[in-house]
């Protein structure tokens, strides 16, 4: 049993058509996350080596730019919707994938830094937009991830110190979301949750700051918490005593992978991923595949979607790297972007 | 999509579904164009709010529609009745969409605008209801924590004590009805830490706090016998015995006695399980290793390795992890 690339490709194309069909209800119900949806679609395509042709690329780039707010530098999830940091990161990632770096350095980065500063609170936490007070480690991740690209592609745009101040403050806050059980919650004091573990911990990895914020015991606790996410069906859950869900094959696995970045684990004989049964997890992901119509679902037998397809495939890629198999493209556990792309620019 | 079964629809059912969806598509499109028109018109606030309600009922995740709604409400200025209606509207939506981030956010905004203690206190009942439908709802627990924190800032000391006492009772009730409710154990821990850290601020006498914590030692002891398979109580125990704040109240000697008692219980559970299933209990064994290591209880290298070898059998998914632990000992 394995993931059938051809049938996955068919599913991605179908779902793409479906989501852009104005006669379908899904077209309206998913507008608020269309930019993220496009990112999940493109990553899924890349994972299985499916090319996006040039004419399609031109069309997509034009659409992304339609979502760009020239005043703030941020992006909305759909033309006419309000800007949000979630859609802003996805849009920037897509422009990097499509290699429109010039637009980013000229039109986006000079303004979006100000936007990011405007949604950061004094205590380092990030709001999701300029409209609400909602705080979430996801928004910290989005902001800190974008700052990485600003530093990378426009190193002279801002004073280094100014940028690092935002990063440092952001990371200190995320450390407060770290729990006694080894996980991270949505805010300080909140229960640990697999998705928040990744958004929090990956932020430290992006800025190469893991060892400045975590001692060995804390990382051991994190490794323990993450390894306990595997259920007997082989899948991973997001919290103790919950059912498995395919998307945690990314959130939890990528987080485990990132522990290897620490000096305390770098030289270990075995990769941190191997503290769970990777073959059983692989089997679980394969079981989530719709064998007739393609796509991957949260659990075997459930309705598939592009979100779970994306994170099932990226999780699979991390597993294959360890098992030394070569079916899927390699993915960077910090960014959820192809290693080829992160490394090549 | 989470938790929706994949089914193959017959032609007939598919056609019916498409027909239903087409009606909804029409409705949504009409609403969107009405909203666009009203946005540019004059004196349209009331109609706009109505259309936005309908639109949000169809899709409660539309961040942009909430933003518009809030700006209209701010312009217009709501009286208490209208705020109550807004609360009812979100309550209805929450009942069918308890996992919508922007919906919870909107609720939280309403409360902030109303800005009254009694409204915040009523919110605890709301989470109570929602959490009885889904005991682990992440949003519900997080919101409850938020409300408690806000009330903590607003109320007088005696009211806070009363509030937290009730919360403690609530958590005990939640845990007693389901020992595997990790969320409730988590909340219990944050509350206990709050109690300890606020003794200087509040008038909780130290004797009372010590009594509470001594009782907690016993509560944990009972819990491990209730369901030794469940990781919730073990994680709580692991925290409890290693937290310096707990230690500072309980004192070395008493904590040590508690640890001995726990170890005794674990041996007992393990013996039973060995007899019953020929395997050691995973959590008992892990915690025995943790406690002996951290409380310098007597255990030999060989005993440790034996325990870890047994874990490989009772928990084969994490076999490499146990091997790694064995390698460290050797």
| A131 to B67: CB separation less than 8 angstroms, yes or no | yes
> pLDDT-based confidence at A345, cuts 50/70/90?
very low
Backbone dihedral region for residue A290 (phi beyond 0: left; psi -120 to 50: alpha; all else: beta) = beta
List all residues 6 or more positions away from B116 whose beta carbon is below 8 Å from its beta carbon: none
Domain end residue (candidates: B70, B90, B113): B113
Domain end residue (candidates: B143, B172, B204): B204
Q: Which residues pair with A302 in a beta bridge?
A: B5
Residue B70 with chain A: CB contacts under 8 Å? 131
Please count the structural domains in chain B. Answer: 2
Whether residue B226 is contained in a domain is answered as no
Residue B24 with chain A: CB contacts under 8 Å? 25
Residue A235 confidence (pLDDT) above 60: yes
Cβ contacts from A onto B, under 8 A = 143
| A301 to B138: CB separation less than 8 angstroms, yes or no | no
Print the domain residue range for A22.
1-51+241-345
Residue B205 confidence (pLDDT) above 90: no
Judge whether B67 is closer than 8 Å to chain A, CB to CB: yes
Question: In Å, what is the CA distance from A227 to each residue of A221, A248, A273, A298?
Answer: 10, 12, 8, 19
Dist. CA B114–CA A10, nearest whole Å: 51
- Say how many C-beta atoms besides its own lie within 10 A of residue A335's C-beta: 20
Mean pLDDT of A329-343: 95
Q: Which region among A182-186, A271-275, B207-211 has the lowest average model confidence (pLDDT)?
A: B207-211
- Say how many C-beta atoms besides its own lie within 10 A of residue B19's C-beta: 9
Whether residue B240 is contained in a domain is answered as no
Whether residue A255 is contained in a domain is answered as yes
Residue B319 with chain A: CB contacts under 8 Å? 277
Mutant choice from B54, B186, B197 vs A, greatest count of A C-beta within 10 A: B186
Dist. CA A157–CA A163, nearest whole Å: 10
Whether residue B315 is contained in a domain is answered as no
| A131 to B70: CB separation less than 8 angstroms, yes or no | yes
Whether residue A318 is contained in a domain is answered as yes
Whether residue B83 is contained in a domain is answered as yes
Instruction: Report yes or no on whether pTM surpasses 0.90.
Output: yes
Query: Are B99 and B121 within one domain?
Result: no
| A241 to B5: CB separation less than 8 angstroms, yes or no | no
> pLDDT-based confidence at B192, cuts 50/70/90?
very high
Whether residue B312 is contained in a domain is answered as no
Mutant choice from B7, B14, B60, B63 vs A, greatest count of A C-beta within 10 A: B63
Query: Are B77 and B161 within one domain?
Result: no
Query: Are B124 and B179 within one domain?
Result: yes
Mean pLDDT of B208-234: 89
Mutant choice from B141, B150, B237, B321 vs A, greatest count of A C-beta within 10 A: B321
Residue B202 is predicted with a pLDDT of 62
Print the domain residue range for B68.
20-113
Residue A17 is predicted with a pLDDT of 81
Dist. CA A159–CA A146, nearest whole Å: 16
Distance from CA of A133 to the nearest CA of B (A): 8
Residue B248 confidence (pLDDT) above 50: yes
**Could you tell me if the ipTM is greater than 0.85?**
yes
Domain end residue (candidates: B66, B85, B113): B113
Dist. CA B111–CA A226, nearest whole Å: 36
| B22 to A23: CB separation less than 8 angstroms, yes or no | yes
B297 or B48, which is more confident: B48
**Tens of pLDDT, residues A52-63:** 999 999 999 999
Residue B200 confidence (pLDDT) above 70: no
**Tens of pLDDT, residues A109-138:** 999 999 999 999 999 999 999 999 999 999
Query: Are B127 and B168 within one domain?
Result: yes
Whether residue B107 is contained in a domain is answered as yes
Residue A236 confidence (pLDDT) above 70: yes
> pLDDT-based confidence at B203, cuts 50/70/90?
low
Residue A2 confidence (pLDDT) above 90: no
Q: What is the CATH number of the domain that holds B70?
A: 1.25.40
**Tokens describing residue A249:** 């094959």
Dist. CA B43–CA B45, nearest whole Å: 6
Distance from CA of A155 to the nearest CA of B (A): 33
Whether residue A59 is contained in a domain is answered as no
Query: Are B102 and B133 within one domain?
Result: no
Residue A133 with chain B: CB contacts under 8 Å? 105, 108-109, 112
Closest to A273 in 3D by CA, of B232, B324, B283, B286: B324
Whether residue A29 is contained in a domain is answered as yes
| A232 to B138: CB separation less than 8 angstroms, yes or no | no
Whether residue A168 is contained in a domain is answered as no
Residue A285 confidence (pLDDT) above 90: yes
> pLDDT-based confidence at B207, cuts 50/70/90?
confident
| B6 to A24: CB separation less than 8 angstroms, yes or no | no
Q: Looking at chain B from residue 87 to 126, which residues have their Cβ under 8 Å from any Cβ of chain A?
A: 101-102, 105, 108-109, 112
| B5 to A303: CB separation less than 8 angstroms, yes or no | yes
Whether residue B198 is contained in a domain is answered as yes
Residue A299 with chain B: CB contacts under 8 Å? 3
> pLDDT-based confidence at A343, cuts 50/70/90?
confident
Mean pLDDT of B62-84: 96
Q: Looking at the partner chain, which of A25, A82, A299 has a beta carbon nearest the beta carbon of B24?
A: A25
Q: Looking at the partner chain, which of B62, B67, B183 has a beta carbon nearest the beta carbon of A191?
A: B183
Residue B204 confidence (pLDDT) above 80: no
Please count the structural domains in chain A. Answer: 1
| A277 to B316: CB separation less than 8 angstroms, yes or no | yes
Judge whether B136 is closer than 8 Å to chain A, CB to CB: yes
**Tens of pLDDT, residues B160-187:** 888 988 999 999 999 999 999 999 999 9
Question: In Å, what is the CA distance from B298 to each residue of A73, B271, B284, B301, B303?
Answer: 63, 19, 17, 10, 10
Closest to A241 in 3D by CA, of B315, B175, B182: B182
Residue A132 with chain B: CB contacts under 8 Å? 66-67, 102, 105, 109
Residue B229 is predicted with a pLDDT of 77
Q: Which region among A132-146, B210-224, B290-304 has the lowest average model confidence (pLDDT)?
A: B290-304
Whether residue B209 is contained in a domain is answered as no
């Amino acid at each position: 049993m394995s993931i059938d690339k051809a049938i996955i490709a068919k599913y991605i194309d179908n779902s793409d058509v479906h989501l852009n069909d104005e006669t379908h209800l899904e077209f309206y119900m998913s507008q608020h996350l269309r930019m993220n949806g496009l990112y999940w679609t493109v990553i899924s395509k890349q994972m299985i080596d499916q090319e996006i042709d040039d004419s399609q690329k031109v069309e997509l780039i034009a659409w992304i730019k339609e979502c760009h707010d020239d005043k703030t530098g941020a992006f909305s999830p759909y033309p006419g919707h309000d800007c949000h940091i979630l859609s802003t990161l996805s849009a920037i990632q897509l422009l990097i994938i499509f290699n429109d770096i010039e637009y980013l350095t000229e039109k986006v980065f000079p303004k979006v830094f100000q936007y990011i500063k405007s949604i950061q609170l004094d205590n380092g936490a990030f709001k999701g937009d300029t409209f609400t007070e909602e705080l979430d480690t996801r928004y910290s991740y989005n902001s800190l991830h974008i700052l990485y690209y600003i530093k990378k592609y426009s190193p002279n745009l801002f004073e280094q110190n100014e940028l690092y101040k935002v990063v440092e403050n952001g990371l200190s806050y995320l450390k407060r979301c770290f729990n006694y059980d080894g996980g991270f919650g949505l805010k300080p004091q909140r229960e640990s949750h697999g998705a928040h573990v990744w958004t929090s911990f990956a932020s430290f990895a992006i800025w190469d700051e893991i060892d400045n914020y975590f001692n060995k015991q804390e990382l051991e606790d994190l490794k323990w918490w993450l390894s306990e996410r595997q259920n007997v069906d082989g899948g991973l859950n997001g919290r103790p005593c919950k059912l498995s869900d395919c998307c945690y094959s990314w959130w939890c696995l990528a987080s485990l992978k990132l522990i290897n970045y620490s000096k305390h684990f770098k030289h270990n004989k075995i990769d941190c991923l191997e503290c769970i049964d990777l073959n059983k997890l692989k089997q679980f992901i394969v079981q989530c595949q719709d064998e007739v119509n393609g796509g991957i679902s949260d659990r075997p037998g459930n309705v598939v979607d592009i979100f779970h397809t994306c994170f099932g495939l990226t999780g699979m890629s991390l597993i294959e790297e360890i098992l030394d198999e070569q079916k899927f493209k390699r993915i960077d556990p910090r960014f959820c972007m192809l290693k080829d792309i992160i490394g090549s620019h | 999509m989470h938790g929706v079964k994949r089914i193959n629809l017959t032609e007939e059912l598919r056609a019916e579904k498409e027909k239903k969806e087409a009606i909804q598509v029409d409705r949504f499109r009409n609403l969107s164009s009405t909203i666009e028109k009203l946005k540019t018109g004059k004196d349209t606030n009331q109609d706009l709010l109505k259309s936005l309600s309908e639109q949000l009922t169809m899709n409660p995740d539309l961040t942009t529609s909430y933003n518009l709604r809030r700006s209209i409400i701010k312009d217009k200025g709501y009286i208490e009745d209208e705020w109550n209606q807004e609360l009812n509207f979100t309550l209805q939506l929450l009942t069918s969409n308890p996992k919508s981030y922007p919906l919870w956010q909107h609720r939280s905004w309403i409360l902030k605008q109303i800005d009254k203690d009694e409204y915040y206190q009523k919110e605890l009942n709301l989470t109570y209801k929602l959490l009885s439908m889904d005991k682990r709802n992440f949003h519900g627990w997080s919101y409850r924590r938020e409300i408690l924190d806000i009330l903590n800032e607003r109320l007088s000391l005696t009211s806070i004590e009363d509030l937290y006492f009730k919360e403690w009772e609530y958590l005990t009730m939640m845990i007693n009805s389901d020992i595997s409710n990790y969320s409730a154990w988590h909340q219990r821990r944050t509350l206990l830490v709050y109690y300890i850290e606020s003794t200087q601020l509040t008038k909780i006498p130290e004797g009372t706090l010590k009594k509470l914590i001594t009782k907690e030692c016993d509560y944990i002891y009972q819990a491990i016998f209730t369901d030794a398979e469940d990781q919730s109580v073990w994680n709580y125990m692991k925290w409890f015995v290693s937290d310096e704040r707990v230690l500072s109240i309980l004192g070395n000697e008493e904590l040590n006695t508690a640890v001995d008692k726990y170890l005794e219980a674990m041996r007992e559970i393990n013996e039973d399980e060995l007899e019953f299933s020929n395997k050691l209990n995973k959590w008992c064994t892990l915690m025995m290793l943790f406690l002996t290591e951290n409380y310098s209880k007597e255990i030999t290298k060989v005993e440790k390795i034996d325990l870890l070898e047994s874990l490989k059998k009772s928990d084969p998914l994490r076999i490499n992890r146990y091997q790694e632990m064995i390698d460290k000992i050797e």
